[in-house]
């Protein structure tokens, strides 16, 4: 069974026929909300809204451990994360869909491992390729068969938020080699790897990152919402195809 973690703009899947909801208790506290089990494209899926169903949990306060543990507990075979991002690379403007292949982590102060405390031995996961190659390939194939254009490969910069970046910060991210910037990609991806859950992401470009084309002065929030709504129609189609 596939798990989908929905971010900003995707707090529910309108094409999901819901079978049941389950509140999962975890050793790490409460997940962002109940797991929603249902069917998408004739296949069972489980959906979780990363920021809560009322979109009240900011990126730095998401209980990433509880979310990933709950999905593992539900015996999912893979996790697809949907998350909105700012576009740094000039061809990644609002509305573009991106399947990233690398991560640079700039977050701080987030609990980023299951392996601490008690008698748990330290565990160093291999994270050379942070996203699962097979899940990525299946997302790309699903997009292709549904006729949806996605960008194959991008470096995702995970920032702390909840504020957006300064123009100078985005310049630094670009010098570091980042193509898109978001606030929720880490530690989520690393925690999934720690539990051996194949994990990949679909990023939806909501805006030009700060100081980039079209955002020379500031980021227009009214526009972000309409861009996301339009893009999520394609994301839902992609997920159904997947």
Instruction: Compute and round to an integer the Cα radius of gyration of the chain.
Output: 17
Query: Measured from the CB atom, is 45 or 235 closer to ligand HPA?
Result: 235
Q: Site map for ligand HPA, 178-197, x if CB under 6 A?
A: ---xxx--------------
Question: Under the criterion CB under 6 A, does residue 165 sit at the interface with ligand HPA?
Answer: yes
Question: Under the criterion CB under 6 A, does residue 32 sit at the interface with ligand HPA?
Answer: no
Question: Under the criterion CB under 6 A, does residue 81 sit at the interface with ligand HPA?
Answer: no
Q: What angle do CA 183, 185, 186 make, to 5 degrees?
A: 95
Q: Which member of 6, 9, 33, 86 binds ligand HPA (CB under 6 A)?
A: 86
Query: Measured from the CB atom, is 63 or 184 closer to ligand HPA?
Result: 184
Q: How far is the CB of 37 from ligand HPA (least distance, A)?
A: 28
Residues 113, 190 contacting (CB under 8 angstroms): yes
Q: How far is the CB of 26 from ligand HPA (least distance, A)?
A: 26
Alpha carbons 234 and 212: distance in angstroms, whole number? 25
Query: Measured from the CB atom, is 173 or 239 closer to ligand HPA?
Result: 173
Question: Considering only 24-32, 47-55, 101-109, 177-185, which stretch makes contact with ligand HPA by CB under 6 A?
Answer: 177-185
Alpha carbons 77 and 3: distance in angstroms, whole number? 8
Q: How far is the CB of 14 from ligand HPA (least distance, A)?
A: 21
Strands 17-22 and 43-49: unpaired
Three-state secondary structure call for residue 64 = helix
Question: Under the criterion CB under 6 A, does residue 206 sit at the interface with ligand HPA?
Answer: yes
String of DSSP letters for 81-148: EEEEEEE-STT--TT-EEE--EEEE---SS---S--STTPPP-----SS-S-HHHHHHHHHHHHHHT-
Question: Under the criterion CB under 6 A, does residue 85 sit at the interface with ligand HPA?
Answer: yes
């Amino acid at each position: 069974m596939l798990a989908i973690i929905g971010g900003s703009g995707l707090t529910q899947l309108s094409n999901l026929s819901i079978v049941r909801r389950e509140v999962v208790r975890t050793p790490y506290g409460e997940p962002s909300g109940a797991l929603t089990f249902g069917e998408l494209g004739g296949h069972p899926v489980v959906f979780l809204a990363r920021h809560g169903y009322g979109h009240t949990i900011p990126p730095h306060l998401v209980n990433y451990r509880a979310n990933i543990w709950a999905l593992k507990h539900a015996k999912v075979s893979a996790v697809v994360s949907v998350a909105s991002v700012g576009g740094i690379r000039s061809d990644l403007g609002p509305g573009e869909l991106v399947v990233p292949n690398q991560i640079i982590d700039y977050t701080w102060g987030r609990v980023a491992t299951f392996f601490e405390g008690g008698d748990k031995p330290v565990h160093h996961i291999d994270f050379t390729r942070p996203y699962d190659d097979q899940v990525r390939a299946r997302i790309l194939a699903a997009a292709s068969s549904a006729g949806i254009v996605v960008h194959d490969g991008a470096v995702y910069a995970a920032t702390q938020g909840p504020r957006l970046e300064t123009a100078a910060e985005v310049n630094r991210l670009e010098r570091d080699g980042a193509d898109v910037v978001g606030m929720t990609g880490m530690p989520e991806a690393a925690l999934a790897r720690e539990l051996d859950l194949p994990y990949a992401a679909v990023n939806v470009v909501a805006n030009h990152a700060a100081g980039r084309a079209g955002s020379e002065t500031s980021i227009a929030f009214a526009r972000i919402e309409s861009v996301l709504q339009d893009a999520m129609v394609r994301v839902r189609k992609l997920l159904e195809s997947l």
